[in-house]
Structure formats: structure tokens, C-alpha cells
Amino acid sequence: MIPLIITLLLPLISSLLILFMNKENVKLIKYFTLISSLITFLISLFLLFNFNNTNPDIQYYINVTWVSSLDAGFRIGLDGMSLLLVMLITFISPIAILSSFDSIKTREKEYYFMILLLQFAMVGVFTALDTFLFYIFWELILIPMYFIIGIWGGKNRLYATVKFFIFTMVGSLFMLVAIIWLGNYVGNEILKTGFTTDYLKIKEVANLIPLNYQNWLFWAFAISFFIKVPLFPLHTWLPDAHTEAPTAGSVILAAILLKMGTYGLIRFNLEFFTSASIANASLISIFAVIGIIYGALVAAIQTDIKKLVAYSSVSHLGFVVLGIFSMTAIGIQGAIIQMVNHGLSTGMLFLLVGIIYERRHTREISEYGGIARIMPVYATFFAIAMFSSVGLPGLNGFVGEYLTLIGAFTSPILNSWGYAIAASTGVIFAAVYLLWMYQRVFFGTVDNPSNLNLKDLSKREWAFLVPIVIFIVWIGLHPSTFTNISENSTRKLVNKIENVKFGITPYPELLKNSNLKTNSNQINNNKIGK
């Protein structure tokens, strides 16, 4: 429990401490931020090592009464799914911070304050087990991100940041209404214990809500998550925000913020509104598949490297959504691993684009050519990230993509092989846009004289790229290390889904210590946490 509290609060405390530092003393601020985030990472490792993989339920559960009239509490905890994503945050944050050392040259104090505040809010989103608390963290994210893009961003940053802010705001308003309605209905109509925002309480009974209400609630949550993912056609804020954000902003945006949407879909839509999710799965999968192909096609003709990577996110996240709404254990497991993968590979691509942008101050593909000759090490790292993104077996991308595809193919809920086959064409397009870009940037001869004296990677840049490469290879070769963590949480969710749809439990071994009733909609009163 204590490591979880520290993981959550240490970034907040550090960010407040930065406010007391002299803004002239940039070095202190930088290293303080870095060390703080590294300590957070180390502490979060305790979460990983003490985690019980065989337990499908929430662990490290903390419940502190907060607003008693709303039954809103400070409830946090982790299961396998959220643990992986929290680890991703604590892993990516120091890397993002380290990558900002040279690129952020104005108002450093505010910048590092914002980054740490952002980290706090992100961990909050993935640990919150209270709808009210979740909403607070969800909205809190917007503030630092708004400033990070708006102050330290590129030329068109104001347009981008306002677009980002308003898009997300609009979505979360629907969610807020749904949270209130849900708390009232569950609290007063079903449980008759009064308004509640307790995630675990709601989860047990939310599927008893009649389907027509459930549908509305489902879409209210889903719209807000789809905007965040982003699912086609709600994605246009993403290329702008990604392109205009500073490197670290893009990295965090891609690696973590987009996952809030997909995480929310699993955590709330599937868990709460199982019947509605089943009913809408096909429709959403169609949009996911369109997104996969559409994102890849549009990426292919971008002239700005960063925009290309941004559109590739639309494509990759389509796989995640498809996996989630396949509602099979394989598909959801694939979606989770794909979330991590996308965080690593797209995060790395943004870091790499940032590296060359710092040297040349342009992201236009046509400005480059023959870079492999000038910066061989950089080209090698770029190739690794590219192949990871293309889904080359042996690297991480393949595992996630392939599992989501098998999930979609075998899904009894989608019940059609068409989704998976249409989606799998995405692997060709991914090769097309990435290899084409790689060729234009790295191959050929150096025609642009300003590229002649580019320096290859510095030690600092090595330092933040190598850890990512390690995980890219690790997940690719031995995905079990990671899939085992979320395995049982996923199975439990699939038990619930299959039970609602077909009245069967595919993973009966998880029922031993819970009394999930197989005949009716599920109410499980299993003990929470350790």
C-alpha cells in the first residue's frame, strides 16, 4: 500500500517543492525533477515485485473517506491491467524528463513543475477506483498538458492546445453527467444505500441497469474515451497536438495520455456496462478497423515526420480498440500489451524525431536524406523503433498486433472474421509509410549541406533510448513476463462478459474464491485486495 501512495504522491510533492526553488538555478531544478522521477520509478518496482499475479482482483486497495455526502472516497488500487500501465508511466516519465534537458530553454521551472504535476495526475487516473476521483484526475491532466503545449510548443501551438483542451473537455462533460446519473441510479435505485461513486460497488451491480439506460451511459463514457484514444473520426486533435507539443509532451501524450481512453474503455465500459458493450461491439470495431487503415493511409503522405508518427498512432490505437471490443481474453490481453508497446515504440519515435529536430529545427522529410551516413547510430535506433512499429516478430509490436487480431478473429461476440482480415491489411500499410519515410530521411545521398555536420547521438540520448530498446526486445522475445501480470484480471473480465452473453464461464478456476452466480447477472462479493 505504501509504495502505491508514494508512487502517486511523490511527483505531486516534488512538483510543489520546485515552486520553492530559485528559477535561475536551472540545473538544480532539472536534476531534482529527474531524480524524483527515478525514485518514483524505483518505488513503483516494489508494486511490481509484490504483486500477486494469480489474484485477479484489486490489490494495494486504499479507501479513505472524503466527501461523505457523495460517498466519494479517496479509493485507489491496482489490478494487473492498471499495474502495467502505471509501470509504463513511471518508466516513461524519467525518459521524457531527460529528453527535455536540452530542448527546453525557457521557463524551466514552470516546465518541470508541469511535468511532475502531469505525472501525478496520470498515475491518479490509472489507480483511481472511485468515479469521482477518476474524474478529478482525468480533468487535472488537461491543465499541465494545456500549458506544456501552449507555452513550449511549436509555431501553431495555441490552435493545437485549445483544440486539444476543448475536444477533451467536451467528452468529459458527457462522462461527468453519466457519473452523476450512475451514482444516483446505482446508489438509490439498485443498492438503496444512497448516492455512491465507489467503483467496486458500482461494478458489481452496474450491469443490472436496464439496457436502454445502459446504452446512454455507455455512450456517455465511451465518447469521452474515444476522443482520448482517439478513435476515428474523433482523432483530428491528435496530429495537431502531437506536432505542436515539445518532444517530452508528445512522448507523454502518445505513451500515456492516449492509453487513458483505452484503459477507460476496459475499466468502465466493459466492466460497468457489459451488456451495452456487447451490443455495441460490432459498430465500434468497424470504426476501429477504419481507423487502422485510414490512419495508416493518411500517415503515408505526410511530409512532416512528427505528423506521420501522429497518424500512425491513430492506426495503432485502432488495434487496441479492436482487441478490447473483441471481448476475448486474447484480444484484451493483446490490447493491453499493445498499449504498452505503442507507448514504447511511438514514444521512442517521438524521442528520435525530437533529437533530429533539436539539431536541424525542421521536421520536413524533404529536408533530409542520407542521414544514415552522417548519423549511423541514430539511424540504427530509428530502424529499431521503426521495425517495432511495423510489427516485426521478435520485437514488441508483433505480439500486440497479432494477439488483438487473433482475438478479433476468434471473438464469439464479433462473430465474424471480416474485422480481423480487414484490420490485418494495416500491417502492409504500416510497412509502406514507415519504410518510405525511412528511405527518404536516411537513405540516398546527402543533398542538403546543412545536414553534413550533424552530430550523432550524445551520451544523454543513448541513456534514454537504450532502456526503451531493452523493453522492445524483451516484450518481443518473452511477452509472458508482461502478459502474465494482467492475465487473471483479463480472464475475470472475460468471465463476466461471457457470462452475460452466453451464460458460461470460460475460466472457472477464477471462481474458486468468489461466488459468482452463473445463472443471473453477476454479483461477486469477493474480498478486495490483499
Partner 1 sequence: MTPEMLLNLSIVILLIPILDFAFLIFFGKKLGRASGFIGTSVLGIDLILALIVAFVRLTQYPNETMQQYKFDWINLGNTSVTLGIGIDNLTAIMLIVVTLISFLVHLFSMEYMREDSRFSRFYAYLGLFTFSMLGIVIANNFLNMFIFWELVGVSSYLLIGFWYEKDSAANAGKKAFIVNRIGDLGFLIGLMIIYSTYGTFIFEDVFGKIHAGILPFNSGFWLTLMGILVFGGAIGKSAQFPLHVWLPDAMEGPTPVSALIHAATMVAAGVYLTARVYPMFTADALLFIAYIGALTAFIAATIAITQVDFKRVLAYSTVSQLGYMVMGLGVGAFTSGFMHLVTHAWFKALLFLASGSVIHAMHHSMHKAHNHDMDPQDIRNMGGLRKTMPITYITFLFATIAISGIPFTSGFLSKDGILAGTLAFGELSGHWFIPIAGFGAAAITAFYMFRLTIIAFHGKPKTSIAEHTHENNGFITIPLIILAVLSLWFFYSMNPLNPDEGWFHQRTQAPQSAVPASLMWNFMNPEKEINANENINVSNNRLHTISNELNKTGIPAFLVTHTLVSQPKVETEFKETLHHAHVPAMILSLIVAISGIILSFVYYQFKVYDPDSIVNLYPWLYKGSFNKWFFDEIYQATFINGTIGLAKVGAWFDFNVIDGIVNFVAAIGRGLGHITGIFDFHIIDGLVNLSAKISGWLGTALRKPQSGTIQAYLVLTVLGLVVLILLFI
Q: Which positions touch partner 1 (CB under 8 A)?
A: 163, 166-167, 233, 235-237, 239, 294, 297-298, 300-302, 328-330, 333, 370, 372-373, 387, 392-394, 398-399, 402-403, 405-406, 409-410, 412, 417, 420-421, 424-425, 427-429, 431-432, 435-436, 439, 442-445, 478-480, 483-484, 487, 491, 494, 506-507
**Amino acid occupying residue 76:** I
CB of 224 to partner 1, least distance (A): 16
Which is nearer to partner 1, 350 or 387 (by Cβ)? 387
CB of 45 to partner 1, least distance (A): 23
Q: What is the DSSP string of 96-137?
A: HHHHHHHH--S-HHHHHHHHHHHHHHHHHHHHB-BHHHHHHH
CA gap 380, 387 in Å, rounded? 11
CB of 473 to partner 1, least distance (A): 11
CB of 5 to partner 1, least distance (A): 32
Nearest to 148 by CA among 215, 245, 53, 270: 245
Which is nearer to partner 1, 10 or 229 (by Cβ)? 229
Q: Are 81 and 229 in contact (CB under 8 A)?
A: no
DSSP state of 188: I
CA gap 85, 81 in Å, rounded? 7
CB of 136 to partner 1, least distance (A): 26
Which is nearer to partner 1, 251 or 330 (by Cβ)? 330
CA gap 363, 243 in Å, rounded? 9
CB of 429 to partner 1, least distance (A): 8
Which is nearer to partner 1, 151 or 300 (by Cβ)? 300
71 sits in the region (left: phi over 0; alpha: psi -120 to 50; else beta) called left
CB of 435 to partner 1, least distance (A): 5
**Amino acid occupying residue 528:** I
Which is nearer to partner 1, 105 or 478 (by Cβ)? 478
Nearest to 267 by CA among 339, 165, 189, 177: 339
Which is nearer to partner 1, 31 or 417 (by Cβ)? 417
CB of 428 to partner 1, least distance (A): 5
Which is nearer to partner 1, 349 or 395 (by Cβ)? 395
Q: Are 311 and 351 in contact (CB under 8 A)?
A: no
For residue 478, the SS3 value is: coil
Which is nearer to partner 1, 186 or 385 (by Cβ)? 385
* CB neighbour burial string for 20-50, b if at least 16 within 10 angstroms, e if fewer: eeeeeebeebbebbbebbebbbebbeebeee
Which helix (H) or strand (E) covers residue 73, if one does?
Answer: strand 72-78
Which is nearer to partner 1, 60 or 419 (by Cβ)? 419
Triad 12, 259, 252: Cα angle to 5°: 50
CB of 311 to partner 1, least distance (A): 8
